[in-house]
Chain A
Amino acid sequence: MAKYILKRIAGIFIVLFVVMTAAFFMMRLMPGGILDGVEENLSADMRDLIYAKYNMDKPIWEQYLLFLKGIVTEWDWGVSLKLYVNVSVWDILAERIPITLYLGFLSLLISVPIGIAFGTLAALKKNGIVDHAVSFLVVLFISIPSFVMATGLQYFVAYKWGWFPLIYDDSLPRITTTFLPVLALSFSPIATITRYLRAELSESLNSDYMLLARTKGLTRVQATMRHALRNSLVPVVNVIVPAFISIMGGSLVVESIFGIPGLGGITVRSINVADYSVTLASLIYYTLISLAAILLVDISYGLIDPRIRMGGSKDA
């Protein structure tokens, strides 16, 4: 098992490296330079001098090697060129990552148990009123796009009824001020998890071992909890990863509407103003997070379902 984990971690680094290289070249080849949008008063000399200062006049390969050297020797991810001129990219990211992670994890933390609960409920009372009601409710919440949902929540709950603050305010306790954004982010994962668990669980409920469990004398609920649930968790665990990734993505919109100083906002802004260094670092960070999530999930496969040994050949 440990060997497997080490192999996977090595794999992660390789993937990161590939992503970093690809992203670096893609960004440099993108149209638009670092001085676009700046006051149109610069003389040609000034412009050339500025480019030379940031090594932009050298060929791409050289720039890439300099970049790598910077990271390895000094942990220098470069300096932001447009958004926060002369500020180290690492500092920019380090300030914003905690709040985004907080939102993401909190949202995942509440949506996983709720999703599992709803899914189990729906599968147990399948095709009954409860099942349809749960499905309908859950689907209704995710059928409205996140930005409309977020705006709506803000308008009704925060503005009209005044239960929660409109935007992020660091002088209020963090839980109050992030309640609405976390709620807005959680609807989608709850729905996905409920849906998948219901599908998987209802399939498992028809299996033979369930029949055996019932004849043994276990109640329906007991049999479900002890047997069917564990089998159904595998695809659900598989779905947690995209759910988490979608939370990270959805946080872009939610962060901007609720004014949360997180990573999503800065990523979008850096793409829009072509601030390469920040975009690159941000990209690598997101990649790292999702790869780590995938690794965690794969490890948990083995824990939850002993039948599955990842990497096994077709001759089982």
Chain B
Amino acid sequence: MKHTSKKRKTRFMCMLLLLALLLSGCGGSPSGDGNGDNEGGNTSAEGDYEGYYKTYLTASIATMNFLTDADGTSTELYSRSGLRLYNYVPDGNGGASLEGELAVSDPVCLDGDAGTTWEITLRENAKWQNGDAITADDFIFSMQTALDPEQLYTEGSKAANGLVEIQNAAAYLEQYAPGNSPVSWEDVGIKKTGDYTIQIITEYKTNAEKIKQHFNMPSTMLVHQATYESCWDSSHAVNSYGSSLDKYMSCGEYILTEWVTDSKYVLEKNPDYVHADLIKLPGIVYRVVADNNTALELFLQGELTQVALGSAEIENYLQDPRYMSDPPLQQLNVLINNRNTDNNGILNNLNFRKALFYATDRESIAALRNAIPATYILGTKMIVDESGTTFRSLESSSAYLPENYGYDPEYAKECYDLAMEECGLTSLNLTVIFSESSPNQRPIAEYIQTSWKEIFGDSFTLTLDPKPTTVAYSQRKGWTSNPNSYELAIEGYVPVDNILTDALKFYTTGYPNANEYNNNERVDALYQEAVYGEQALNDNDYLISLVQQMEQILIYEDYITCPVFEIPNAWLLDEHVQLPVTERVPGGGWMTDYAEFVTE
């Protein structure tokens, strides 16, 4: 008896061991991920990318298909391996400008004063990674794919009317919606007029600069036809272009050569690139490092060439010669749902919103996070023209901003008492929702919880309600169907930095996905004038004054939202890197893709 049971036990143990070894052996080899990458030539197997620029992403990339990339994680990767008509190029003197990448030169207007028909000539020496030549056909195919009415790529609508409105493009994209009539491709304002020439027809008058900026957007990049067509699934319903290394074709500054899922992506210099002589790096390596601390440790060890700094580290490295500071990308505001009917609609009461605005001690809150206190809508990154002058540095832009960063507790209390009286309330309890994973929103919420209570007195209570990001998002946008979906929230928009009106479009009537209800006719009229008006197109100063008026009305008349601060954007750069530009280029960044390493 003992023998047999012992034997069974040992046999069982052996089975378990074997199973475990088998499973672990499954992924035994380094390149055993079955991805078709690492083809034979394992030059990178040594793991030492000598001379490569080493950077990182905080999350694994979703796809290389810029049309479906929703969260922008792979932006750098496809931006640097794809081609656009126009892109930022360093001029050799420490600056950079928007020049033709696939296009030879600026677009030419064909119909004079009407300004709606534009011709662009393409370079004839551009090539895909596999040697195929790039012609106007590629461009037309790419735009057709972006606007595919059956695929409905989210980036497609940007390609249709992001900066200029291309004739019938949006209509073509949305033609299958109930109530819309079919539109054929011939009606869309994108035409091929020669092997290397194309024509763009816009709905409204526009200028060359805007066309260049429109075709600088990632959504207008090139898609390789043969690869794309081989990526359809069996029912031709879903296309997986860009989801792995062999389903993607590079043609830009760099070529994507390695893709290790969730771990590493490698770009190598493309010798056939149109400006190949300006590219000095042999390649760029992207690792996936989700944890901030790990990234900083890697940088200090020399494994990374740049690293982003969180609020806590900024103070520590402020004096470090490697410290680089960029204009904040995003601003955080306290959003007020003015459609909320609870509490006798106090959120719709102007005095109450004024009270909230003046009760916020922006300076102190911002100091906690090394941020910039904000009393405005357009952030410090917004520029007014190509020279890089920022909107906020203009004197006229600060003329209407209040003193002391808008912090006036006595006045706030006055407004509060008045508002409570007007709404007939003796006590008030509001809830603020925010994203629990954001490191900046929680300090704001906690700070205002105590400081507002101190100012307003015991009749006021603020409850905090942290939520996962998606839940908070849908609650914020849900007021359109349920007016009481939220009361206060903390969030901010992210406008494009070189388009002034982009920051204000969120506050126009009828903007889909707005955070609150906007219905100011004067603002709408000013916005129409600024975006579509002819004077605004030609006279930049006029445009600036329109924008200033809008900002003034929105914040200092309607108090539609309560700005708090702009999130700092600082990073460390390895001291051996020489950047091609001496100052940050709005729209182009620091152009690290043109950087080079200098040894002491």
Q: A105-B20, A171-B45, A257-B294 are in contact. Are A95 and B261 (CB under 8 A)?
A: yes
B130 proximal to A (CB < 8 A): no
Whether B297 pairs with A159 at a CB distance below 8 angstroms is yes
What's the nearest-Cβ distance from chain A to residue B177, in Å? Answer: 4
A50 proximal to B (CB < 8 A): yes
Kindly report which residue of chain B lies nearest to residue A103, judged by CB atoms: B24
Of B30, B155, B470, the residue contacting A170 (CB under 8 A) is B30
Of A33, A87, A172, the residue contacting B240 (CB under 8 A) is A87
A72 proximal to B (CB < 8 A): no
B539 proximal to A (CB < 8 A): no
Residues on A with beta carbons closer than 8 Å to the beta carbon of B12 = 300, 303
Q: A96-B262, A261-B262 are in contact. Are A174 and B30 (CB under 8 A)?
A: yes
Q: A37-B70, A102-B24 are in contact. Are A168 and B243 (CB under 8 A)?
A: no
B301 proximal to A (CB < 8 A): yes
B60 proximal to A (CB < 8 A): yes
B542 proximal to A (CB < 8 A): no
B9 proximal to A (CB < 8 A): yes
Whether A44 pairs with B26 at a CB distance below 8 angstroms is no
Whether A83 pairs with B62 at a CB distance below 8 angstroms is yes
Of B33, B44, B470, the residue contacting A95 (CB under 8 A) is B33
Whether A82 pairs with B70 at a CB distance below 8 angstroms is yes
What's the nearest-Cβ distance from chain B to residue A199, in Å? Answer: 22
Q: A44-B512, A84-B63 are in contact. Are A303 and B473 (CB under 8 A)?
A: no
B238 proximal to A (CB < 8 A): yes
B291 proximal to A (CB < 8 A): yes
A173 proximal to B (CB < 8 A): yes
Whether B27 pairs with A98 at a CB distance below 8 angstroms is yes
Whether B26 pairs with A98 at a CB distance below 8 angstroms is yes
Q: A257-B291, A259-B290 are in contact. Are A273 and B470 (CB under 8 A)?
A: yes
Whether B238 pairs with A37 at a CB distance below 8 angstroms is no
Q: A31-B475, A82-B70, A99-B27 are in contact. Are A45 and B177 (CB under 8 A)?
A: yes
Interface code A5-49, partner B: CB below 8 Å = 1, 0 otherwise? 000000000000000000000000001110111111111111011
Whether A168 pairs with B263 at a CB distance below 8 angstroms is yes
Whether B470 pairs with A272 at a CB distance below 8 angstroms is yes
**Interface magnitude class on chain A:** 35 or more
Whether B174 pairs with A46 at a CB distance below 8 angstroms is yes
Interface code A272-286, partner B: CB below 8 Å = 1, 0 otherwise? 111000000000000
B275 proximal to A (CB < 8 A): no
Whether A46 pairs with B34 at a CB distance below 8 angstroms is no
Interchain Cβ contacts under 8 Å between A and B, 26 examples: A32-B474, A35-B154, A36-B470, A37-B71, A40-B513, A41-B158, A45-B177, A45-B180, A79-B238, A85-B62, A91-B243, A95-B34, A95-B35, A98-B33, A109-B17, A166-B298, A167-B289, A169-B47, A170-B264, A171-B30, A171-B44, A171-B46, A172-B47, A257-B290, A259-B263, A265-B60
Instruction: Using CB atoms and an 8 Å cutoff, list the residues of chain B in contact with chain A.
Output: 5, 8-9, 12, 16-17, 20, 23-24, 26-35, 44-47, 59-60, 62-63, 65, 68-71, 152, 154-155, 157-158, 162, 170, 173-174, 176-178, 180, 233, 238-240, 243, 260-264, 287-291, 293-294, 297-298, 300-301, 303, 437, 468-471, 473-475, 477, 493, 506, 512-513
